[in-house]
Amino acid sequence: MKKGKATIHDIAEKLNITASTVSRALNDNPRISENTKKQVLKMAKQLNYQPNHIASALRSGKSKLIGVLVPTANRNFFSSVVRGIEDIANELDYKVIISQSYEDPEKEIQTVDALLNARVDGIIASIGKNTENFEHFKKILDKGIPLVLFDRITNELEVSQVVIDDYYGAYETTKHLIEQGCKRIVHFTSPKKINIYRERLRGYEDALKDANIPVDPALIEESNMQLEDGRTSMENIITKGIPFDAVFSSSDYAVMGALQVLREHKISVPSQVKLAGFGNEPFTSFTAPPITTVDQKSIPMGRVTAETFFELLKLEDKKSATHKTVLKPELIIRESSLKTN
């Protein structure tokens, strides 16, 4: 038997039919009889035939594949968004290729190239927090391929976007802490160009101003927002002797680091310091005390992002039809931020 992958020509030869008949049978063409379809599928299985989606995409102009690029898949938020995207994609007989940039701009560029080489019908992406040049995304648009951004977006690209109202989520969280009697609220943010942190910072500052509480730059800590960063930021504030009565972090991971450090310093949460995060990661409901956070509606975001993508796919002019969808987040109030009697 010859080596290498089986092709439709091998199936055709075995069944003594034409390659075009095999192709139509594999694509469930109504012109082909059920009996022939069964024979073709049986022989394809025997020969371990794997369809070449790139060749198929070249012929039909459609690969039925979507590239999904996320900074990391091991966050509940991103894995839930992907689940929402797959819910819609699977209904429409599309498959999803998931790639991770690991917050590395170079890896992000390489991944975009790999997805384009795989002939995906379009790309859905959330930008890595260290990305400052967006030429690789412009290349997707220049090729006339649909691109939809979600959560982490940039205003430097004219594309369809799906986001939550980060400003509203941060404003409501800060307002809640103020209502619990807090006046010296530390805020953990990121210095990066990413929209989500800028909007959360703006929500925090406006809630303070609306309550006639001055914004104190000494209470704003910038970092990469991981657990270790939260620990470092909390240690910085305590070491400097800056008075504070609450911490509102733009990331659940950083607020978890803050909780650990407060515990080590025998500072009681919530009676001495109140805490709130952002993201509603599963661990926030299992900590002691459970942490107040903002739910980002990740599965609905995934579904809406996929729906936006498929609407775009139908259009002739992919560039001009940009659409921004803003979903409302939900403040989940738990014990870490509540006034104690």
Which pLDDT tens digit goes with each residue over 276-316? 999 999 999 999 999 999 999 999 999 999 999 999 988 86
Nearest to 278 by CA among 318, 251, 244: 251
**Average pLDDT of the segment spanning 56-74:** 77
Residue of higher predicted confidence among 92 and 2: 92
Candidate CATH numbers 3.30.365.10, 1.10.260.40, 3.20.20.370, 1.10.10.10; the one for domain 8-51? 1.10.260.40
Domains 60-164+298-327 and 166-296+331-337 share a fold: yes
Question: Which single residue is written with the structure tokens 């069944």?
Answer: 15
The alpha carbon torsion through 80, 81, 82, 84 (nearest 10 deg) reads 90
Confidence of residue 55 (pLDDT cuts 50, 70, 90): low
Candidate CATH numbers 2.60.40.10, 3.40.140.10, 3.40.50.2300, 3.40.50.300; the one for domain 60-164+298-327? 3.40.50.2300
Candidate CATH numbers 3.40.50.2300, 2.60.40.60, 3.40.50.720, 3.40.50.300; the one for domain 166-296+331-337? 3.40.50.2300
User: Which residues make Cβ contacts (< 8 Å) with residue 290, sequence separation at least 6?
Assistant: 284, 334, 335, 336
How many CA atoms, within 13 angstroms, populate the side-chain half-sphere of residue 100? 8
pLDDT of residue 320: 62
Peptide bond into 270 cis (omega under 30): yes
**Average pLDDT of the segment spanning 56-62:** 55
pLDDT of residue 165: 97
Checking if the pLDDT of 317 tops 70, the result is no
Question: Tokens at residue 22, please?
Answer: 């095999």
Provide, rounded to the nearest whole percent, the portion of the chain with pLDDT above 90. 71
Domains of the chain by residue range: 8-51, 60-164+298-327, 166-296+331-337
For 287-325, letters b (16+ CB in 10 Å) and e give: bebbbbbbbbbbeebbbbbbbbbbebbeeeebeeeeeeb
- 86 close to 58: Cβ distance less than 8 angstroms: no
Nearest to 165 by CA among 173, 234, 157, 176: 173
**Average pLDDT of the segment spanning 256-285:** 97
Cα dist. 109→87, 96, 100, 114, 125 in Å?
27, 19, 11, 9, 12
Lowest mean pLDDT among 10-14, 212-216, 228-232, 237-241: 10-14
pLDDT of residue 5: 76
pLDDT of residue 313: 87
- Report angle CA 190, 323, 203 to the nearest 5 degrees: 30
Question: Tokens at residue 60, please?
Answer: 């039909």
Q: What is the pTM of this model?
A: 0.80
What are 143-187's pLDDT values in tens digits?
Answer: 889 999 999 998 888 999 999 999 999 999 999 999 999 999 999
Question: Tokens at residue 121, please?
Answer: 């019908």
pLDDT of residue 54: 53
pLDDT of residue 58: 47
Residue of higher predicted confidence among 3 and 283: 283
Checking if the pLDDT of 265 tops 60, the result is yes
Residue of higher predicted confidence among 146 and 340: 146
Report the residue count for the chain: 341
pLDDT of residue 1: 41
Checking if the pLDDT of 62 tops 80, the result is no
Checking if the pLDDT of 3 tops 70, the result is no
Residue of higher predicted confidence among 280 and 74: 280
What are 191-216's pLDDT values in tens digits?
Answer: 777 789 999 999 999 999 999 999 99
Residue type, 149: L
Question: Tokens at residue 209, please?
Answer: 């101003």
